[in-house]
Structure 1
Amino acid sequence: MISRFFLLFVVFAAGLQVAPGDTNPQDAAALRSLMTQWQNTPPSWGTNDPCSTPWEGISCSNSRVTILTLNSMGIKGTLSSDISQLTQLQSLDLSLNSKLGGPVPPSIGNLKQLTTLILAGCSFTGNIPQELGNLENLYFLALNSNNFTGRIPASLGQLSNLYWFDLGDNQLTGVIPVSSNTSPGLDLLVNTKHFHFNKNQLSGSIPESLFSSKMTLMHLLFDSNQFTGQIPESIGLVTSLEVLRLDRNSLGGTVPSNLTNLVKLNELSLANNQLIGPIPDLTGMSVLNYVDLSNNSFDANQAPNWFSTLESLTTLVLESGGLNGNIPTQMFSFPQIQQVLLSNNAFNGTLDLGKTSSGLQLVDFKNNAISGFKSSPGYNENLILYGNPVCTTQLLNSIYCSLQQELQQPYSTGLGQCNSTSCPFDQSVNPQSCNCAYPYEGLLIFRAPFFRDLSNSSRFQELESNLWTQLKLAPHSVSLLNPFFNSDNYLQVELKLFPPSGMYFTRLDVLKIGFALSNQTLDIPSIFGPYSFIGSPYPFPSGSNSGGSSMSTGVIAGIAIGCVILLVVLVIVGIYAFRQKKRAQRAVEQNKPFASWISKGKESDGAPQLKGARLFSYDELRKSTNNFAETNEIGCGGYGKVYKGFLSSGELVAIKRAQQGSMQGGHEFKTEIELLSRVHHKNLVGLVGFCFEQGEQMLVYEYIPNGTLRESLIGKDGIQLDWPRRLKVALGSARGLAYLHELANPPIIHRDVKSTNILLDENLIAKVADFGLSKLVSDSQKGHISTQVKGTLGYLDPEYYMTQQLTEKSDVYSFGVVMLELIMAKQPIEKGKYIVREVRMALNDKDEEYYGLREMMDPALRSTANLIGFRRFVELAMLCVEESASQRPTMNELVKEFETMLHNAGLNSNSNSTPSSATDFGNTNNAHHPYNEPLPRKDFHSDSFEYTGGFQFASKIEPK
């Protein structure tokens, strides 16, 4: 009977709303087909007519769909080939939907009217369709920040009207295609202003024929690829260039002398290559702001003359450049100069700062041969002379001889009178109104800024003003937070935009903002250079709509009648529900286990807030493991067992099942699944989902076959880690922790970093795991968190233990212990000996090869002829385990150091790289469980613990 009433209501309501369509039937059918492939489409989709209502994100002309924009909507699914039926489509923007993926259908090449195609910040895979070359009207093409593989299609050279061409941050391989008698190539794109191919795996030589004097390129971003060969002289023909980034490749040979033809160039970065010959002569490049030539193999020489002539310079970076002789004084007085970074050279004599510029913020000459120093009366900023003879004579115990000095705090938007306002974790304070609201947020990534000083408030305030003006927001409703230069040398800034009124943006507002940021239509100050934007899906209120359309009288009347019928149906449903109460309660228990979460755990604070993690039922996981059969058991411990499981989708997962006696409290379990579901990084273990039902606590992870770092260090299952792979493991782990500290929002302190919480996948790429003890860092807790001491014996930060004040540097200390494990292959505490104290006592500067640690080292390393970067690695490890947190480096600084070590050794620092053969780094094919560490427990056990006031750990840590 109920089903009949529901059917009557649905048919009646549909009959009221269906009207003669204003949309071309082919377009309407295509849109409805797309909608069946997607989740989280706007509420207006599927109701009425797409053009006459209209549907959000749809614009029409003469009954044909011309614009489809659904950026930042949280769309999930794939792009159907039916998109090709929208033959009058001029603009397609599906960007910033991280769950939208799969291959791009070749039929997209049928959209001959398309001028704008933006698929940035999604998860598209496979090859870039060569059919895109058929889109002869295409003006703007942005496919960056996806997972595209394969080669760049040569057919894209046919896009003669293309202005913007962005393929950055993918996994593209092969050479750059150029034209021949039979095939087009990218050299034909003479009207294109932007070639953004950075952060791929492109290889081979950069073709000489790629560039010509006909080209109008402004930004050429080829950094972070695998290019070899020489820099083509033809680049000097493209006199329109303003940004040239070729850094982080394997380019060799000499730098072309005609580079000085690029008189409009603002930024030049050739760092981290294998360039030889003389340092390039940049004389006459009068507008050059930023120069980085570090880490090449240039001929040893004195500082070139242009050091004293380029008065527009804001930043000069030439580290490890083989420079010697006296230091030119003039460079410190340039009116725009902010930073001079010339470490690891052979400058000698006396450093005379002369009359310094008022904007000079940092001078770094560490590890040179400077024997004297003459100060500047006007300079009170940072000067690093660590590793110079002057530090043992004239400047003994001077702050200038400290390795780390306190830089000015980077700019962040102040809250002014709003400092006392406190908001829920998923909201933020609007600096314009001091009210809590849901901002539209994401990362602005400036890929070639012309400056390094991040404390200049006027510069960032100008950016804020530009953003709120051009996006038509209320003044001061833009917040910029935590700018920093990441490991790719990109300036990364957290952006928050606040609605002009109320707590939420409308969907139409978000679509307009996302399109403006993705389509590069904003006039951002030129000093920030080319940028990209990676936005987060906006948290619209449940059932929200844009509210921008009007409804006809018939529709309103239909809705009113429908509501009456709905009321009748609800009464009947209520009676039925009352009669079936017991059965309904059982259904709730089975299908909505969160309903029982609160009643089962007093400390759980309600159901967890998840971002992408899946809730599994007990029966589903039981079936996936064949009723938890012993044959699927891949690990065990005091907490319970780990099973290999095959989900119904065919996905292979690892299921960590806690036994009754060792289950953690609801709060800890909730913390771990919340944290794991909100962080996504290739060096962090991925959470697929969890189960909290029928008295069970289970976590479902991505399956990682090669176990823990500790197991690999002891040679379990035949895996042998040589020194280069250990460096890569350190780099990968550091990248994961740096993401938690600096990119997670809010930041996260892991609190239990150790070798058994670092897992190795099939390519021995490191992934940080186990977030049960982690802590979020809110804005009010920046600096430190006062909390009970938790951690693992041997890895615990002594300052945290004594003060109970937790900081990111506590993770750094633990990571330093892991670094020592990579050298020694020993546990932190063995036979009553603490690894930090033992290494400290054994260090010997006179041992130029092994730092006095040969006898303590892993025997597998002793026979290695050349341990690249070994001494520097030891120095960094000992800095990490300094007892004072202020003397420890940040994880991001460690990432840069490891990348430099690998690059100097000619090794690829890309964590996606795999060994050249299965024997390079030992056996990688033996599938083994990586989850043999216990879930965190409230009671003490032999590994992790919760401090209760009586446990004497301090005696384990010896003073330096």
Structure 2
Amino acid sequence: MAFFFIRTAILILLATAACTAALTPPSNSTDLAALLAFKEQLKDPLGILAGNWTATESFCLWAGVSCDSRQRVTGLVFSDVQLQGSITPSLGNLSFLSTLILGNTSITGTVPNELGSLPWLQNLNLSFNSLSGTIPHILGNLTRLEILDLTQNHFFGGIPHELHNLRSLVYLGLPGNELSGPIPQGLFNNTPNLSEIRLGLNRLTGAIPGSVSSLLKLEALVLEKNLLSGPVPPSLFNMSQLQVLAVGRNNLSGPIPGNESFHLPMLQTIALQENQFHGPIPLGLSTCQNLVELSLAVNNFTGSVPSWLAALPKLTLIYLAMNGLTGKIPVELSNHTGLLGLDLSENNLEGSIPDSFGNLLSIEELDLSSNLLSGAIPKSLTNLTYLANLNLSFNRLGGQIPEGGVFLNITLKSLMGNNALCGLPRLGIAQCPNTSKQSRPKQLLIKVLLPAVLAFFILAVFLYMMLARMKVNKRRKMPVPSDTDMQNYQLISYHELVRATSNFTDNNLLGEGSFGKVFKGELDDGSLIAIKVLNMRQESASKSFDTECRALRMTRHRNLVRIVSTCSNLDFKALILEYMPHGSLDDSLYLNDGRQLSFLQRVGIMLDVAMALEYLHHQHFEVVLHCDLKPSNILLDKDMIAHVSDFGISKLLVGDENSITLTSMPGTVGYMAPEFGSTGKASRASDIYSFGIVLLEILTRKRPTDPMFVSELSLRQWVSQAFPHELSNVVDSSILQDEFNNGIDDASRTPEDFSVTNTYLASVIELALLCSRVAPEERIPMNDVVVKLNRIKSNYSSQLGNKS
């Protein structure tokens, strides 16, 4: 009986405890622990978490954190800030989390499987980072997920077929990774709300799944630049909500369905370029009254250029280059006054260029090259004030070249291959013959004929000298045109860049970064160029392109990289720059272990950089702030002369401004001036700070982001602690080892020789520390930097010469 009472008492106590627990509100201590673990995994170079995530206030008030009424974390949002680190698995403990956005935060590592256990997650955005590994299959458990954006990372392997369980999915974005294998056939069988699919810029193979056409709400299908093959499912051309169909740069083939099975009333962009489609241009497109861009270039389409294109009032870009089109250019296209770009190059079009093309008043790009066009160039083309790229080369055109308008700055490249043209002597195209039949008095014969013969003789001598000079230049393989040529240099077409880079193969890849990739190219004339292809998946790509174009075109200095040309259309933008055989300063320091750079060379390179910044800060008619100076943006030519490049985020100071307020954090972590974080302003002093850090880096061969610089220790502090008596502990050892190779043999070195080097090293490091002071007003101006560095270099060279 006693045992019965004891057992009953225990059961009552347990029941009471359970009731008490049920009445207690959910604890948020788990959320706090998860957030602290998240912080612990990150470096946070801008101090965003360190300055705000403190115990003095509720975590619901922390930057980037949002909570519900129960004080449970529902959102963790950081976008376009530097966090640098990995994602902690502890985030899987935020059981009420609905939004996780860590876009463009420099995070690395893999995606923890624990994220697949967040039952309320609706938005998962980890785009534009350096995440790697495979996409976790367990993400298929997130049945409430509406947005999955893993754009521009380093994920590899296949697309998990478990993602077909994401029945609430609206947006699927996996472009810009290294995904391979086929698109799972059943991936879209259970996602009725899916409206955007973006899988481009991967290595996907196989066919486009027919199940795509079952997505009745689909608005965008972007699969460009993969290895997909086979036909496009015919049902895909009968989707009433589809606005963007971009499957260019694959191995797709077959004809496009006819008019009877073609119904895309909402279509705005159709990009089928660089595939193997054949047959006529589909008549069904004539019903797409919302069409803005038509890109069918580099296929096997045949037949004529449809006149019904003129009936599409919103159409602004037509790219039909490199097909097998025949017949005449439709005159009706002249009625399309909103047209911005028309590329019909490399077809078999014949007849004349319609004179009414002068009505295309908005057009910016007109490429009719490599066809069979004949007759005269219409004078009406001079009326096209926005026309920046006109290419009529390699046709059968003849007669007088019009004067004015686009022809004032046209280059020979845009007219060559038309042997019957005349009237442009500045390009070596002869004047048109005088057809006047009026007789001249005999007494004027000597006055006219003799000077003409003399002029012909002088011209012949001049041409002979020019040809000889051209042969010499060709043998020298000059990499870029001269300054004079560049002023008149024409835009280079995308197809020319494809040829120059062997279709942008990895063999020609010089480097890549967040902006895109840089390729080495060789033009048809043998000249070498560097082609900076912007990553159009980044929203800021077009702005960066425009900014860099403006900065490079309006500046001219021997230590600034020169822009040779540009190539720009809706989905492709590239800068063509002079080629630098020795790559970047970053390459010389780290790929080559810094061994090819003596102390004197390093000082010379930084003097070149200083003179470039002095020009931008003090000599140009507008003050230009570079805002992103670092070793990878300092390029070295064949003579190891430095050229500052990459003006994608440069800024202008207008009038009497001393600084400019920035809307976002510019530059690169480690090189950014500290005032960016505290005041959000950039000035000349900001560039000077970056210069000082680069100067320290080139002497120590230590990046400011080296893992050794943690907590309170920075590159500047590390060097400052060793200055001036312990510099041997921080300076790149190869400087002292190799410095006298050019002047003094190993056997003849003396302690005094190294003492001399140490003295000048100390002077340069002192200058670097002055440039990188925390307070902007305490930094030395760039014109003084040039004077000091020039004096150090001259004195050291002189002393080195005396020793030899």
TM-score (norm 1): 0.44
Contact 2:411 2:490 in 1 (8 A): no
Contact 1:165 1:196 in 2 (8 A): yes
* 1:567-610 Cα shifts (integer Å, max 9, x gaps): xxxxxxxxxxxxxxxxxxxxxxxxxxxx9x999x9x99999996
Aligned to 2:71: 63
Aligned to 1:260: 262
Does 2:149 align with 1:115?
Answer: no
Among 323, 326, 341, which residue is 1:324 paired with? Answer: 326
Contact 2:131 2:155 in 1 (8 A): yes
Aligned to 1:95: 103
Contact 2:275 2:299 in 1 (8 A): yes
1:412-431 aligned within 5 A: none
d(CA) in 2 for partners of 1:598, 1:303: 59
1:808-957 aligned within 5 A: none
d(CA) in 1 for partners of 2:342, 2:269: 15
Structure 1 126/304 Cα, relative in aligned 2: closer, same or farther at 3 Å?
Answer: same
Does 2:156 align with 1:155?
Answer: no
Aligned-pair CA distance for 1:504: 10
Among 31, 46, 59, which residue is 1:27 paired with? Answer: 31
Aligned-pair CA distance for 1:361: 2.5
* 1:503-555 Cα shifts (integer Å, max 9, x gaps): 8999xx97xxx9xxxxxxxxxxxxxxxxxxx9977969579799xxxxxxxxx
Aligned to 1:402: 412
Secondary structure in 1 aligned to 2:197?
A: strand
Structure 1 257/45 Cα, relative in aligned 2: closer, same or farther at 3 Å?
Answer: same
Query: Could you tell me which amino acid in structure 2 is paired with residue 80 of structure 1?
Result: T
Aligned to 1:303: 305
1:178-327 aligned within 5 A: 178-179=185-186, 185-212=187-214, 214-257=215-258, 260-281=262-283, 282-299=285-302, 301-327=303-329
d(CA) in 2 for partners of 1:190, 1:483: 43
1:315-394 aligned within 5 A: 315-354=317-356, 356-373=359-376, 375=378, 377=380, 378-380=383-385, 381=387, 382-391=389-398, 393-394=399-400
d(CA) in 1 for partners of 2:223, 2:649: 26
Contact 1:232 1:256 in 2 (8 A): no
d(CA) in 1 for partners of 2:758, 2:273: 51
Contact 2:101 2:126 in 1 (8 A): yes
Does 2:109 align with 1:106?
Answer: no
Among 568, 572, 575, which residue is 1:489 paired with? Answer: 572
1:501-516 aligned within 5 A: none
d(CA) in 1 for partners of 2:272, 2:95: 44
d(CA) in 2 for partners of 1:128, 1:310: 42
d(CA) in 2 for partners of 1:92, 1:368: 53
Aligned to 1:644: none
Contact 1:350 1:373 in 2 (8 A): yes
- What is the RMSD of the two structures over their aligned residues, measured on CA atoms? 5.5
d(CA) in 2 for partners of 1:224, 1:606: 42
Structure 1 235/448 Cα, relative in aligned 2: closer, same or farther at 3 Å?
Answer: farther
Secondary structure in 1 aligned to 2:49?
A: coil
Aligned-pair CA distance for 1:279: 2.9
Aligned to 1:144: 151
**Which is further off, 155-164 or 266-275?**
155-164
Contact 1:272 1:295 in 2 (8 A): yes
Structure showing the higher helix proportion among its residues: 2
d(CA) in 2 for partners of 1:192, 1:664: 67
Aligned to 1:685: none
* 1:277-319 Cα shifts (integer Å, max 9, x gaps): 33333222222111111111223x3323434433322111111
Aligned-pair CA distance for 1:611: 6.2
* 1:80-114 Cα shifts (integer Å, max 9, x gaps): 2111111111111111112x110101110111111
Structure 1 545/365 Cα, relative in aligned 2: closer, same or farther at 3 Å?
Answer: closer
* 1:599-643 Cα shifts (integer Å, max 9, x gaps): 9x9x99999996645678999x999xxx99xxxx9x999589xxx
Secondary structure in 2 aligned to 1:277?
A: strand
Aligned to 1:131: 138
d(CA) in 2 for partners of 1:311, 1:543: 47
Structure 1 938/494 Cα, relative in aligned 2: closer, same or farther at 3 Å?
Answer: same
d(CA) in 1 for partners of 2:332, 2:211: 40
The percentage of counterpart residues that share the same residue type is: 25
Query: Could you tell me which amino acid in structure 2 is paired with residue 25 of structure 1?
Result: S
**Which is further off, 281-290 or 253-262?**
253-262
Contact 1:446 1:490 in 2 (8 A): no
Aligned to 1:519: none
Contact 1:103 1:124 in 2 (8 A): yes
* 1:383-431 Cα shifts (integer Å, max 9, x gaps): 321111215x5549976673257789xxxxxxxxxxxxxxxxxxxxxxx
Structure 1: which 5+ residue stretches go unaligned?
1-20, 180-184, 409-442, 456-481, 515-533, 547-594, 641-657, 675-777, 779-785, 791-934, 941-960
Does 2:45 align with 1:37?
Answer: no
Contact 1:170 1:199 in 2 (8 A): yes
Aligned to 2:495: none
Query: Could you tell me which amino acid in structure 2 is paired with residue 489 of structure 1?
Result: F
Structure 1 236/659 Cα, relative in aligned 2: closer, same or farther at 3 Å?
Answer: farther
Aligned-pair CA distance for 1:496: 9.5
Aligned to 1:79: 87
Secondary structure in 1 aligned to 2:337?
A: coil
d(CA) in 2 for partners of 1:540, 1:55: 25
d(CA) in 2 for partners of 1:63, 1:669: 55
Secondary structure in 2 aligned to 1:26?
A: helix
Structure 1 664/334 Cα, relative in aligned 2: closer, same or farther at 3 Å?
Answer: farther
Secondary structure in 2 aligned to 1:155?
A: helix
Structure 2: which 5+ residue stretches go unaligned?
1-24, 415-487, 492-533, 547-564, 576-646, 653-657, 680-688, 710-714, 744-752, 770-781, 799-804
* 1:109-129 Cα shifts (integer Å, max 9, x gaps): 111111111111111110111
Aligned-pair CA distance for 1:333: 2.2
* 1:914-951 Cα shifts (integer Å, max 9, x gaps): xxxxxxxxxxxxxxxxxxxxx9x9969xxxxxxxxxxx
Secondary structure in 1 aligned to 2:359?
A: coil
Contact 1:71 1:95 in 2 (8 A): yes
Aligned to 1:893: none
Contact 2:373 2:395 in 1 (8 A): yes
1:603-752 aligned within 5 A: 612=705
Contact 2:60 2:73 in 1 (8 A): no
Structure 1 383/114 Cα, relative in aligned 2: closer, same or farther at 3 Å?
Answer: same
d(CA) in 1 for partners of 2:759, 2:279: 62
Aligned-pair CA distance for 1:358: 2.2
Secondary structure in 1 aligned to 2:37?
A: helix
d(CA) in 2 for partners of 1:66, 1:402: 62
Query: Could you tell me which amino acid in structure 1 is paired with residue 148 of structure 2?
Result: L
Structure 1 115/669 Cα, relative in aligned 2: closer, same or farther at 3 Å?
Answer: farther
d(CA) in 1 for partners of 2:216, 2:669: 38
Secondary structure in 1 aligned to 2:262?
A: helix
* 1:837-896 Cα shifts (integer Å, max 9, x gaps): xxxxxxxxxxxxxxxxxxxxxxxxxxxxxxxxxxxxxxxxxxxxxxxxxxxxxxxxxxxx
Aligned-pair CA distance for 1:494: 6.2
**Which is further off, 312-321 or 279-288?**
279-288
Contact 1:97 1:537 in 2 (8 A): no
Larger radius of gyration between Structure 1 and Structure 2? 2
d(CA) in 2 for partners of 1:54, 1:328: 64
